[in-house]
Amino acid sequence: MQNPDDKFYERADAHIHLSNDQISEEITKGKVSASMMYSTARFNSWVTACGWNNAEEMAAAKEEAIDYFITEYRKMLEENMDDYINNFQSYMQRPVDNDA
């Protein structure tokens, strides 16, 4: 990711905290994740729509916009997955099995 602004991670953390607060015995992590992905898709569709004057212009740029968001999401997901792989023990707070 290139040069995030000073509040980038603060905003991201606020979304993560909200999602964590929604997890309960009745509402699983997977359901919260699905809702968060839907809201991101909905918000990004609105952001995209704001850049056009009419539906025809938006439709003409649809594939380009989708490609952009998928590419950026993939980069962010890979970066975060690598971070969790490299820091799994400390992030997941699981004891080391010395017998293995």
Distance, in Å, from the CA atom of 38 to the CA atom of 90, rounded to the nearest integer, reads 30
Q: Residue 86: which residues within 8 A CB-CB, separation 6 or more?
A: none
**Could you read off the pLDDT of 36-70 as tens digits, one per residue?**
999 999 999 999 999 999 999 999 999 999 999 99
Q: Encode 70-87: b = buried (16+ Cβ within 10 Å), e = exposed.
A: eeeeeeeeeeeeeeeeee
Q: How confident is the model at residue 98 (pLDDT cuts 50, 70, 90)?
A: low
Q: How confident is the model at residue 3 (pLDDT cuts 50, 70, 90)?
A: confident
**65: closest CA among 89, 47, 92, 80?**
47
**Could you read off the pLDDT of 9-46 as tens digits, one per residue?**
999 999 999 999 999 999 999 999 999 999 999 999 99
The structure's pTM equals 0.84
- pLDDT at residue 95 in the model: 66
Q: At what angle do helices 8-22 and 29-50 cross, to 10 degrees?
A: 140
Please provide residue 30's backbone torsions phi and psi, each rounded to the nearest 5 degrees.
Answer: -65, -40
